[in-house]
A = this chain, B = another copy of it.
C-alpha cells in the first residue's frame, strides 16, 4: 500500500483489451490452465505455449477504498466439448462484488454459490454482469474471437483461485451444443463444496 495515485485515464482498445496506461499485465498460457478442463486427452493435445487469456490492470490502485479495474482477454477454443475458460475465483474477502462489462466477443459468466447453485449470464457487447460477493465466477468464451471484458472490484478483495480445484471444477460446465451454440451440463466430477472442505 503506497500513496494514493492521481487520477488517470486508460484508453481501451475494445477489440484487444489493451490500453497504454495499464501498468500491469499477465498472460496465462494453456499449460497454466490445462488441468481445468474435464477432457484430459483433448487438453493434452493443445499447445501449452498458446495463450489462454491475458489480464490488464493497474495494481497501483491498491488502497483502502480503492478500486481495481482492467480488462480480461479470453481466447476462443474448444477443449473436447468444453469452451475455453478462465481458472475462475471467489474473493478472499468473500462479500466483495465484481462488475464485468463486455467490450467485444461473446461468452458466458458462469457463477456458482456455496450451495452449488449455478447462474450463467450471457456476455455480449454492452452487457454488464453483476457478480455479488460469495459467488464463484469464471468467464467462458463461446465465440470465435477473443472475449474482452472490463472488470472492476474493490482493491482489497483478493482472489481465491483454488476454490474450484477443491471441488474438481464447478458444478456446471459450458459445453458446445449440437446446434453450435452452448449449453450447460452437470460436471460429473463435481464434489459439493461442503464435502470438499470437510475432507481437506
Contacts and interface: CB of A to CB of B under 8 A. Distances in A.
A39 interface: no
Contact of A61 (B6, B7, B97, B134): B97
Interface string A72-115: 00000000000000000000011111110100000001010000
Given A19-B128, A67-B154, A126-B12, A135 B96 contact: no
Size category, A interface: 35 or more
Contact of A58 (B12, B69, B127, B130): B130
Contacts of A191: none
B132 A95 contact: no
B132 A5 contact: yes
A122 interface: yes
Given A66-B132, A69-B99, A9 B154 contact: no
A66 B145 CA distance: 31
10 closest pairs, A vs B, by CB?
A: A65-B95, A152-B152, A9-B121, A65-B96, A67-B97, A66-B97, A65-B133, A10-B128, A69-B99, A7-B119
